[in-house]
Amino acid sequence: MLVAPATLGLLAPMSATANEVTINDFNAAEEIAVTNSRVDGLEARFNNLEAGSFSETTSASFGTTFYVGSINEGADDGITTFTYDYSMDLSTSFTGEDSLSVAIIGGNASTTAVDAIMDGSMASISDTLDVDGEEVALEVGTPDYLALDGIAYTFPLGGFTVTAGDGTGVDDLNSGACAYSAFTDTLSNCGTPSIGGSADSAVAASYDFGNGFTAAGGIGFGTEAAGVLTAEDSSTVGLELAYTTDVYGVAVAYTDDDETGGDTSFYSIQAAYTPDAPYSVSAGYEFDDDDADSLFLGLTSEIGPGSLSLGASTQGLAADHQDNYMYELAYSYDVNDGMTVTPGVFMIEDADDNAFGMVVTTSFSF
């Protein structure tokens, strides 16, 4: 019994020493530092992967439009239809002065209010809206998948601005002089539909002389593989001279389009008057080698929270415009920064049957 206390007395200091050694070997501060270092390394690797997968110089914009309306033609009362479209635009700069642009579209509607409703109602009045006055079958039932609509690269070159790509028109760098925002396709571009031709890819350039004077032009490549600028090719050549100020503008354009069925040349004039007042007036005139012409006149006025547009135009190029006109009236207002609602009506005068349509478009941008 006397030995036990002595033995315990000897073991107690040894146990305390062993505990001290075990606790001192585990340094909390060092372990936390090592853990933080490993986490920082993983975060740095993740950030590098994220930065490499989406460039800091790339921007994206998105938009979608809903179309609700109907077209009444002759004795046909028409039906109310709904269609939509969706777009995605990506732009990347490599030097700060250039831009690689990609456009992706989808949906089951065309690009304008009238065509969108026609797609939904399967109306058969496409000949009244066709630029060349020829009956063209209406494309109905467009698939809802996304598709590449165009890709182009724009860059400066010796004082010029140059763009090239697929889905690019010879008029992509034109200044233009149209201040009217069209509600229907017929009245778009101030009633001068032949500017740019029918080429599906092109190279275009523009030059700014200063003081409002600009020049632009381009060469477009047709769908037929017959070379470029040859006797057999279907290329398009376009030129434009423009003078624009804050108050008015005038632009004249020449387009030689071989893909329209022969070597056809179009001459177009646009003019706009935009005074320091809540309205603007736009006009357009176009004619071709066969003495067919078209005429447009449009008025835009700021009324209340939105903008009212009133326009009239002939239905494309024709030698005789008797009973061959189209009128539209639309009011566009912003519900908020990313949502715009535009109700509108239009009337088509045709030798056979007149047509009347009502459409409401709701556009979202983000």
CATH at 118: 2.40.160.10
Distance CA 344, CA 183 (A): 7
Q: Alpha carbon of 198 to those of 105, 147, 168, 237, 258: distances in Å?
A: 19, 20, 10, 10, 9
Residues 259 and 282 in one domain: yes
Residues 156 and 281 in one domain: yes
Look at residue 82 in the predicted model and tell me its pLDDT: 85
* Contact call for residues 293 and 316 (beta carbons, < 8 A): no
Q: Which domain does 63 fall in, by range?
A: 59-365
Last residue of a domain, one of 53, 68, 98: 53
Look at residue 213 in the predicted model and tell me its pLDDT: 97
Per-residue pLDDT tens for 22-35?
A: 334 445 556 556 55
Per-residue pLDDT tens for 67-82?
A: 888 888 765 567 788 8
Tokens 């029918």 belong to residue: 198
**What's the one-letter identity of residue 65?**
T
Short-list 112, 105, 106, CA closest to 69: 112
CA atoms within 13 A on the CB side of 283: 7
Residues 87 and 125 in one domain: yes
Last residue of a domain, one of 5, 33, 53: 53
Residues 88 and 40 in one domain: no
Query: Which tokens is 325 given?
Result: 């006109």
Residues 175 and 265 in one domain: yes
Residues 225 and 169 in one domain: yes
Q: Which residues of the chain have pLDDT under 50?
A: 1-26, 49, 51-52, 118-141
**Is there a domain that residue 204 lies in?**
yes
Per-residue pLDDT tens for 302-335?
A: 999 999 999 999 988 888 877 788 999 999 999 9
Distance CA 6, CA 143 (A): 95
Residues 49 and 153 in one domain: no
Residues 263 and 345 in one domain: yes
Residues 49 and 73 in one domain: no
The reported pTM is 0.72
Collapsing DSSP to helix, strand or coil, 28 comes out as helix
Look at residue 57 in the predicted model and tell me its pLDDT: 82
Per-residue pLDDT tens for 284-297?
A: 999 998 888 999 99
